[in-house]
Chain A
Amino acid sequence: MILAIAKREFVDAWRDGRFRLAALLVLALIGASALLARAQNERSRTEREAAARLERENWVNQGEKNSHSAGHYGIHVFKPAAALAPFDRGVEPFVGPVAFLEAHRMNQTAFLPARDGTAMRRFGDLSASLALQVLFPLIIVLLCHGTLAGERERGTLRQLLALGVTPRALVAGKAIGLFACTLLLLAPAAVALAWITADTPAQPGADITTRAVALAALYSGYSGLFVLLSVAASALARSARSALAALLGLWAFNCILAPRLASDLVHAALPATKLAEFDAAVNADLQMGLDGHDSRSEHMQEFTRRTLAEHGKSRIEELPFNFQGLAMLEGERFSSAVWQHHFGRLFDQFERQDRAVARAGIAAPLLAVRHASMAFAGTDLAEHRRFALAAERHRNEFVRVLNEDLMRNAPPGDHRYTAGRELWESLPEFRLAPSGFGDAWSTAREGALVLAGWLVAALALLLVVPARLRGADA
């Protein structure tokens, strides 16, 4: 009986011109966004690889210079483009894919697409994930709101019940049939995901296919949730129009109001350090330690005394190595700890905010889905932090190698020492190993569980609503 109801619902929807129009709309939106984003991602990947090659070339060919000066010359490292970014760009437009690595300071990533774009860009930035998160629920609501209320208005509900059809079977059949329609509408997104996955150069350990399957499951669950809510509203409302009004209200809250509200509330409750405060705090802490360039500071004098005592010497020129190199190493060790501490705190604050917004998904499922989607696509804040940390580790290593070269190879007290191509070439290129599905899941779990909670609650609601379909007013 349930399958017969589901089949009729599916066929009815298929014959409905609105459904076919919706299918075309979804196909056009998802198709266009996937194609454009794929092209954009490909362009971005090519640009980053070309820039990384050029950067390496410039580094290797920088000529002879003092190895610590080379540390100030610095290098740029590039975040590899996430394979699934064409599907969900996540935080990428707001965090920047380039980090400038130099001696003494850890820089924020730069070249934020959102900052570089024109004001018009925000209106044209459609991704498949945005279409699925915001527009797709609206399509589901428009297609499903009348499923039971319409039966009531048409009089078929009364006839079905008179045949001995149980309200529970009717509700279950409707939900299954409409979900099948929704899966059909989701097919372009699944094809886009499969295409993006198949078109991606092999990245061992990136678990692209598993991530794509997780995204498909996530959006199927999200769509299923809106089907369940639409069926429940349709059963509870007195008319299809009331059901539509209630569901549009829910959609507007979920997709328009809640993201803004959650963001504002979370920023108020868990404020992140402002840029000026951040710089002030870092500078204050840096003052408390050794600065390799400031030979007159108390810290330097103390470090000099200690080093000389350790080696039993009275002058730095007597030391068996270049003292300036050692001081740079020591200063870098301290400043790096300061930078990592402050950036770590900042990232912790951002992640707390991020988690809090995901938890606000309890009130609006979009927030939970958005969080999980970015994590599965590898474009979330956690992934950006992984890049920033990897860049910082690379900076530490790069500066350490340069300072050690200065310490070991520069004659004591000689400021004219220079290193050359051999040293520059010995520095490894920056590589960021792709994160696996386990890393993505550890971030996505929160959002995915909140969505699962919504699904359980919606299913429980569907167990209750059949009671509203029993009366003579059916």
Chain B
Amino acid sequence: MLEADQLTKRFGDRVALHPLQLKVEPGEIFALLGPNGAGKTTTINLFLGFLAPDGGDARVCGTSVKSDPVGARRKVAYIPELVALYPRFSGLENLDYFSRLGGRARPADELLALLERAGLPRDAATRRVATYSKGMRQKVGIALALATGAKALLLDEPTSGLDPAASHEFSRMLRRLAADGVAILMATHDLFRAREDASRIGILVAGRLVAQYSRAELRDQDLERLYLERLSA
């Protein structure tokens, strides 16, 4: 579970994140929408402990990020906009390294199976990453989330720049992870993907969570209209 309890961040005089109250339950995908500079990445950084909050706290599966940032990171997987990998290593070697450092060393055949489950063919998994497309990199990121067995997942613009097919495949994997009970918080600009994948959507404007909608609430609504209305409000 991911939980923000009055989580606040200031940069000098500017409030980047007003007290945020948020709970992402296991099996839930929460899409955080908002324009550039709204505070989406700041929220992710606060959950990862890369930023110290000025107020409140973030918790990952019950572990306070403020008091035990390393312990909290051990319970969460993180997929950035572009999964960064070591170009002179294969996807398999990258996965082995990252999962080992994440405290979940696994044998090679298990890792290969995870990469295949994430949609990366076996022959690609053993090829050097320097030749990978962005979609293939994101698949290694998904495989890493699977390898670490994290019960919470943070995503920062994960489908940005992916072609529709790769984006669709990525969404499929996300939904599968959620079905396995993973709590997912995804910062994104992609309204289409948010609507397709998220169980709840929040709109962040100037550091404030100004609206939240459940999938049911959005059923007959035009998300783009709602989003633009909230921005101009």
Contacts and interface: CB of A to CB of B under 8 A. Distances in A.
B80 interface: yes
A311 to B, nearest CB: 93
Q: Which of A4, A11, A164 has the most CB of B within 10 A?
A: A164
Given A4-B101, A155-B84, A161-B50, 20 more contacts: A1-B101, A8-B86, A11-B89, A12-B86, A16-B88, A154-B84, A155-B82, A158-B50, A159-B83, A162-B76, A162-B154, A163-B74, A164-B71, A164-B101, A165-B101, A166-B70, A471-B50, A472-B45, A472-B50, A474-B50
A164 B70 contact: yes
B88 A15 contact: yes
A273 interface: no
A160 interface: yes
A305 interface: no
A37 interface: no
A163 B78 CA distance: 8
B182 to A, nearest CB: 15
Specify the main secondary structure of chain A where it touches its partner.
helix
B102 interface: yes
B161 interface: no
A163 B73 contact: yes
Interface in B43-84: 45, 48, 50-51, 70-71, 73-74, 76-78, 80, 82-84
Q: Which of B77, B80, B97, B148 has the most CB of A within 10 A?
A: B97
A393 interface: no
B89 to A, nearest CB: 7
A15 B87 CA distance: 10
B149 to A, nearest CB: 13
Interface of B: 45, 48, 50-51, 70-71, 73-74, 76-78, 80, 82-86, 88-89, 97-98, 100-103, 148, 154
B73 A164 contact: yes
A471 B51 contact: yes
Nearest to A170: B101
30 contacts: A1-B100, A5-B101, A8-B97, A11-B89, A12-B86, A16-B88, A154-B84, A155-B80, A155-B84, A156-B85, A158-B84, A159-B80, A159-B83, A159-B84, A160-B98, A161-B50, A161-B73, A162-B48, A162-B50, A162-B77, A162-B78, A162-B154, A163-B73, A163-B74, A164-B70, A164-B101, A165-B101, A471-B50, A471-B51, A472-B45
Nearest to A471: B50
Contacts of A72: none
B46 to A, nearest CB: 9
Contact of A164 (B82, B85, B97, B102): B102
A470 interface: yes
A27 to B, nearest CB: 22
Contacts of A158: 50, 80, 84
Contacts, number: 67
Contacts of B73: 161-164
B51 A163 contact: no
A160 B48 CA distance: 11
Q: Which of A160, A162, A165, A474 has the most CB of B within 10 A?
A: A162
Interface in A1-49: 1, 4-5, 8, 11-12, 15-16
Contacts of A12: 86, 88-89
A165 B98 CA distance: 10
A120 to B, nearest CB: 43
B103 A159 contact: no
A8 B83 CA distance: 18
Nearest to B76: A162
A147 to B, nearest CB: 12
A159 B89 contact: no
Contacts of A8: 86, 89, 97
Nearest to B98: A163
A163 B83 contact: no
Contacts of B154: 162
